[in-house]
Amino acid sequence: MSTAEQNRRLVWKGAAAELTAKPPDKIRRIFIPDRLLGWIIPVSVLLAWELLARLGMLPPNWLPAPTVVGKTIYQLAVAGDLFKHAGVTIARVAVGFLLGASAGTLFGGVTGYLPVARKLLDPTLQALRSVPSIAWVPLFLLWLGIQETSKITLIALGAFFPVYLNLSVAMRHVDPKLLEVGKLYRLSSFQMVRRLILPAALPEYIVGLRSGLGLAWMFVVAAELLGASSGIGYLMVDGEMTGRASIILASVILFAIFGKTTDWIMNAVGRGLLGHRSR
Amino acid sequence: MVNNSFDQRGTVNIEIVHKAFSGSKGTLLALKDILLTIDPGEFVCIVGGSGCGKTTLLRIIAGLETEYEGAVFLDGKQLLGTGLDRGVVFQEHRLLSWLTVHDNVGFGLAGLPREECSRDIRHYIGLVGLDQFEYEYPHQLSGGMSQRVAIARALAGRPEVLLLDEPFASLDALTRMRMQQEILRIWEAERTTVALVTHDIEEAVYLADRVVIMSPQPGTIRNILPVPLSRPRDRTDEEFVRVRKSIHEELFAPDGMTSPAADSF
């Protein structure tokens, strides 16, 4: 290779590096840091929405401006309706989730530990799981009436399956090599569960609790839409009946806030339980 | 050489007639006619290619395999199942990720007085040289350090016999050599009987008082060779190389393992 050719190649290489490496740097320097990138679209949409609404280009009874929705939430809070309805909804989620998650823990634990119990129960539970849970609503209403029982049952059912499934599978899949360590130290069955199987299954169990909680929020909406005289879902129905889109949108936002907040709390509790393992 | 007066504890008598595994493809004879006595305080290495049953033999002594014909005795008492009188270290460290080094080492000591426990645990963590890491978690440790914790855990129950199943096989060459020195130091401090399974002939010659050479299909003891070298041993020493060569020849002799490549089973 001649020196001239070598030089040419070097020049070419340098140019290529410049082409591939520099532009992204420039873009980043001109615009905004990575962590703010995700805000661009929602903020622009909100601004455009507000602008169009103020210009009278959006029908206010269908799509009120974000500020109007914000005002609606404020008015609901001032009137006390917000706390009343939110309290009812949160109570339903809490009771339903506690019942469902407890049952899921019990069944998941038993089937995860005892193969006989799994063979006996799992096919039935899996078959029930394949029924879309909303399909139970008419039956629950018929059996349990339109009051709280049917709503809480539906929420509990939603929370049950992810907790059950995650715990059962995680307990079954504990590394047999770790179980041998327990065997070496002659742990009793109870100690085996408490000291090896449950701690090993904990991360997946927490994942199950989180998705159970998510489903509990989903099902409280369904339950409240289908017949309730209080709760945020009722607010939505009320907004629809009276043609006030701002109330419906306000309710959607409230559901989002509560769902996200409880998930964040659950995540924090999970991190606490896992300690160093969550890193 | 055999010391049958049990005034010193840690004599292992192995009399395995027959050990088979039955699977979907029929039965596999893993061990046949294994007769071996390990003296108190002796360091024995068991070498052989894969599939020669050396790990199965160790697992039988540990009490993890209980379905076999024959018997294993510790100080004249037949061993049935696992027990704290034997400490086991596996190829993988098998530490519990949710426990600190301290709690991992003390895992088998639950039920003993806390004060006494803690002192013992500290002693063994110190013995394996990890005083600085007592409250670290396994994911913060290197492979060699994790294996040290596993050794400390095995020793914490004050076993009469320490059983090691290819404990250094997954470590890099330099760490492995350091760990070999360490295990000798620990053995000299604790004076327990040690049985170590390995496929590394050099490791066996470096560590053992006697090397048990096994051959596969079915797993039998092919020969038992003493290592007449004083410690510390020099791997490049002429005599060391000679012993190593004789074990190598024994392993690959015509009616032993047919060839190094024939262990595909």
Cβ contacts of A192 on chain B, cutoff 8 Å: none
Per-residue model confidence (pLDDT) at position A231: 92
For chain B, what percent of residues have pLDDT higher than 90? 42
Choice among A231-235, B77-81, B115-119 with the minimum mean pLDDT: B115-119
- List pLDDT tens digits, range B160-185: 999 999 999 988 988 899 899 989 99
Looking at the structure, do residues A234 and A271 belong to the same domain, yes or no?
yes
Q: Which of A175, A177, A184 to mutate to test the interface with B (most CBs of B within 10 A)?
A: A184
pLDDT at position B260 over 80: no
Q: Is A273 within the bounds of a domain?
A: yes
Per-residue model confidence (pLDDT) at position A30: 61
Which long-range CB contacts under 8 A does B244-253 form with residues at least 24 apart? B244/B201, B244/B202, B244/B205, B247/B47, B247/B201, B247/B204, B247/B205, B247/B211, B247/B213, B248/B201, B250/B213, B250/B222, B250/B223, B250/B225, B251/B47, B251/B48, B251/B49, B251/B201, B251/B213, B251/B215, B251/B222
Choice among A23-37, A85-99, A130-144 with the minimum mean pLDDT: A23-37
Per-residue model confidence (pLDDT) at position B259: 47
Domain span at residue A32 reads 3-54
Q: What is the ipTM of this complex?
A: 0.85
* Residues B233-254, mean pLDDT to the nearest whole number: 88
Q: Do A177 and B97 touch (CB under 8 A)?
A: no
Return the closest-CA partner of residue A66 out of A46, A84, A52: A46
Per-residue model confidence (pLDDT) at position A254: 92
pLDDT at position A89 over 70: yes
* Residues B66-78, mean pLDDT to the nearest whole number: 89
Return the closest-CA partner of residue A177 out of B59, B143, B160, B25: B59
Looking at the structure, do residues A236 and A116 belong to the same domain, yes or no?
yes
pLDDT, averaged across chain A: 87
Q: Is A61 within the bounds of a domain?
A: no
Q: Do B84 and A183 touch (CB under 8 A)?
A: no
**Confidence band (pLDDT; 50, 70, 90) for B255?**
low
Is B62's Cβ below 8 Å from some Cβ in A? yes
3-class SS of residue A164: helix
- List pLDDT tens digits, range A32-41: 677 788 888 9
Looking at the structure, do residues A109 and A197 belong to the same domain, yes or no?
yes
Q: Is A30 within the bounds of a domain?
A: yes
* Residues of chain A that touch chain B, judged by Cβ-Cβ distance less than 8 Å: 177-178, 180-181, 183-186, 191, 195-196, 199-200, 202, 274-277
pLDDT at position A255 over 60: yes
Looking at the structure, do residues A162 and A252 belong to the same domain, yes or no?
yes
Cβ contacts of B81 on chain A, cutoff 8 Å: 186
* Residues B121-125, mean pLDDT to the nearest whole number: 90
Per-residue model confidence (pLDDT) at position B265: 38
Q: Do A181 and B94 touch (CB under 8 A)?
A: yes
Looking at the structure, do residues A16 and A149 belong to the same domain, yes or no?
no
Looking at the structure, do residues A11 and A102 belong to the same domain, yes or no?
no
Looking at the structure, do residues A83 and A210 belong to the same domain, yes or no?
yes
Choice among A38-42, A143-147, A185-189, B259-263 with the minimum mean pLDDT: B259-263
* Residues B224-253, mean pLDDT to the nearest whole number: 89
- CA-based nearest distance B33→chain A, Å: 26
Looking at the structure, do residues A46 and A73 belong to the same domain, yes or no?
no
Looking at the structure, do residues A34 and A106 belong to the same domain, yes or no?
no
Q: Is A60 within the bounds of a domain?
A: no
Residues paired with residue B13 on neighbouring β-strands, in sequence order: B37, B73
Per-residue model confidence (pLDDT) at position B220: 87
Cβ contacts of B92 on chain A, cutoff 8 Å: 177
Q: Is A203 within the bounds of a domain?
A: yes
* Residues B68-93, mean pLDDT to the nearest whole number: 90
Q: Do A180 and B94 touch (CB under 8 A)?
A: yes
Looking at the structure, do residues A10 and A113 belong to the same domain, yes or no?
no
Per-residue model confidence (pLDDT) at position B161: 93
* Residues B102-124, mean pLDDT to the nearest whole number: 86
Cβ contacts of A191 on chain B, cutoff 8 Å: 110
Per-residue model confidence (pLDDT) at position A1: 46
pLDDT at position B261 over 60: no
**pTM of the complete model beyond 0.90:** no
* Residues A180-190, mean pLDDT to the nearest whole number: 92
- List pLDDT tens digits, range A196-229: 999 999 999 999 999 999 999 999 999 998 888 8
pLDDT at position A161 over 90: yes
Per-residue model confidence (pLDDT) at position B256: 46
pLDDT at position A268 over 50: yes
Q: Is A126 within the bounds of a domain?
A: yes
Looking at the structure, do residues A107 and A228 belong to the same domain, yes or no?
yes
pLDDT at position A277 over 80: no
Choice among A11-20, A116-125, B150-159, B194-203 with the minimum mean pLDDT: A11-20
Looking at the structure, do residues A215 and A143 belong to the same domain, yes or no?
yes
pLDDT, averaged across chain B: 86
- List pLDDT tens digits, range A2-21: 555 555 555 455 444 445 55
Q: Is A59 within the bounds of a domain?
A: no
Per-residue model confidence (pLDDT) at position A102: 97
Q: Is A228 within the bounds of a domain?
A: yes
Closest residue in chain B to residue A182, using alpha carbons only:
B108
Enumerate residues 6+ apart whose C-beta is below 8 A from B10. B40, B41, B74, B75, B160, B161, B192, B193
CATH code at position A129: 1.10.3720.10
Q: Into how many domains does chain A fold?
A: 2
- List pLDDT tens digits, range B7-43: 578 888 888 888 888 888 788 888 888 899 999 999 9
